[in-house]
Amino acid sequence: MKKLSQFVNESTGESTVFGVLMQSVVEAWKAHLMTDKYAAHMALDEYYKEAPEAIDHLIEIYIGRHGKSFLSYDSDGIITIRAFGGDVIRYFNELRMYVRNNLTISPEDSEIQSALDDIYSLIDTVIYKLRDLS
């Protein structure tokens, strides 16, 4: 079984990680429409409605601290749930691990880490609801 990082171009960076996070919103929306389980429908609904603001907040803080030099969307960073055989829980687990392994936050960037923790909380909540309530 492939990991999410194996679907992404070897040259990872902030741009690719942020692109993967934004794509996760589209993927959650598509899975939300396709599920036939109410709990999954609502969990994914919550993610795709709340994640854009949280991801935008993270990127804006990052720009405030480090400038815009990294901004260029890398199309190699588009990973779909379909790539995981439709396994939404696995997709979100891999998403969390991918971001953690590919976005380096220095200790003086605690505000960036805080915004990232909010995104991890959203991902963890979706995983819990999909795994335990669906």
Distance CA(131)–CA(134), nearest Å, equals: 6
Distance CA(75)–CA(79), nearest Å, equals: 9
Q: What is the pLDDT of residue 68?
A: 77
pLDDT digits (tens, 9 = 90+) for 94-125: 999 999 998 888 889 999 999 999 999 999 99
Distance CA(31)–CA(73), nearest Å, equals: 23
Rg (the chain; Cα; Å): 14
Q: Hey, what are 47's tokens?
A: 């993610």
pLDDT digits (tens, 9 = 90+) for 35-57: 999 999 999 999 999 999 999 99
pLDDT digits (tens, 9 = 90+) for 73-89: 555 556 789 888 999 99
- Residue 16: CB atoms within 10 A of its CB come to 24
Q: Hey, what are 89's tokens?
A: 């829980």
Distance CA(51)–CA(116), nearest Å, equals: 11
Q: What is the pLDDT of residue 72?
A: 61
Q: Hey, what are 103's tokens?
A: 């976005």
Which among 14, 21, 116 is positioned nearest to 70, based on CA atoms?
14
Which among 76, 100, 63 is positioned nearest to 92, based on CA atoms?
100
Residue 111 to residues 4, 26, 77: CA-CA distances in angstroms? 26, 26, 25
